[in-house]
Amino acid sequence: MKVIFFDKVKKHIFNKFHTFLTILNKSSLLPKRSLRVAVLGSSGAVGSELIKILEERNFPISELILLSSSRSAGKKIIWNHKEYSIKEVNEKSFENVDLVFASAGGSISKKWLSTIQDQNSILIDNSSAFRLDENVPLVVPEVNPNAVFTHNGIISNPNCTTILLSLVLAPLSSIAQIKRIIVSTYQSASGAGQLAMEELKLLTSQSLQGNPQKPKILPYSLAFNLFLHNSPMQLNNYCEEEMKMINETRKILNNPSLKLTATCVRVPILRSHSESVNIEFSKAIKPHEAILKLKESQGIDIIEDYQANRFPMPEDVKEKDNIAVGRVRTDLSNPNALELWLCGDQIRKGAALNAVQIAEILLQNHHE
């Protein structure tokens, strides 16, 4: 027992020291000038949102390089009042690029990784390809910002449902130790990409006309329907999305033995995910204490009106930076547990915004 405790303390001191040394190492930061930024997967739902956010937040860009597969190459995008043409990614696409945002899937990120690294560019990757690699930080800026400085060229953006969940777990874990989490998700079509959103609209309108066609993008029709998450089933009977929530949350909260179980469901919503979360603590926490903590945490709005039965809805958070939390109440079956409900725009905070916020941490020497 004692040995485990001292091992943990040693590991903690080592991690802190490593972070401190890396912060001192300026090469982990972006150069102090306007940057050449490439967006790989720029025509997708996350890529297009990311480009929008870079403009909104006035990210210091001298040249924006929009990249995609041959399928979307040639598409035009207006960015900062200028027309840009999406180019097909090739060996030369990353020449002298400082920063790459990738959201074109794991195999594409892996394919171009060495070309990106040959240019000493920093890759902020939205795929799951490197998320659990112990040499790659997995970052939610409101939760573990310093992890960014430990990067060796790649920083992973967590899965959308994990980002939304960790935003509430981190502040609540500072009130009392978390013993166990049970989460059920209600994930919108946009989590499966732009084409899944188009398919939901089409199949809904076909269903209303009494002529529903077979889905081509998602495995089943989402029109007036829902189904268990469409990611590959694992040998333990959890789907990949559920295992992402479990493993990524453990990594972000730096708690490898955190007890968490998840059931992920796809629902007929175009944009924004919701989650029903049950958190068991080592002692009872009053709902108002939890709400106070969440209110003062970054990235969270509280929507809670019991008289009006008004709590967060996907529409409340659509295209918003903050997630919304409400219905924080004591679990009647366990006095040490809280139940809560959250909604978050998973294209924005669950993906694109989180990636840009990570890049902004790397920019901090711009503001020195």
129 binds ligand 2RA (CB under 6 A): no
Binding flag, residue 162, ligand 2RA (CB under 6 A): no
Does residue 160 carry a catalytic annotation? yes
Considering the complex, what minimum distance in angstroms separates the CB of residue 71 from ligand 2RA? 20
Kindly state whether residue 157 participates in binding ligand 2RA, applying the rule CB under 6 A. Answer: no
What is the separation of C-alpha 2 from the centre of its chain, rounded to a whole number of angstroms?
A: 37
160 binds ligand 2RA (CB under 6 A): yes
Cα→Cα distances 123→118, 244, 359, Å:
12, 20, 10
Options 151, 160, 229, 239, the catalytic residue: 160
Q: How far is CA 46 from its chain centroid? A: 10
Contacts 24+ apart (CB under 8 A), 14-18: 15/254, 18/150
CB of 266 to ligand 2RA, least distance (A): 7
- Of 98 and 241, nearer to ligand 2RA (C-beta) is 241
Closest distance to ligand 2RA from the beta carbon of 349 (Å): 12
Give me the helix-helix angle, 160-173 and 287-295, nearest 10°.
110
Is the CB of residue 271 less than 8 Å from the CB of residue 193?
A: no
**Nearer Cβ to ligand 2RA (222/337):** 222
Examine residue 192 and tell whether it contacts ligand 2RA (CB under 6 A).
yes
Does 48 bind ligand 2RA (CB under 6 A)? Our answer is no
* Neighbour order of strands in the sheet with 99-102: 87-88, 61-68, 35-40, 99-102, 122-125, 154-156
**103, 187, 204, 354: which one binds ligand 2RA (CB under 6 A):** 187
Minimum CB–partner distance for residue 274 and ligand 2RA (Å): 11
Characterize the bridge pairing of strands 35-40 and 87-88. unpaired
DSSP state of 29: S
Q: Answer yes or no: are the C-beta atoms of 68 and 75 closer than 8 Å.
A: yes
Instruction: Assess whether 239 carries a catalytic annotation.
Output: no
Which are the catalytic amino acids?
160, 273
Residues that bind ligand 2RA (CB under 6 A): 159-160, 187, 191-192, 241, 346
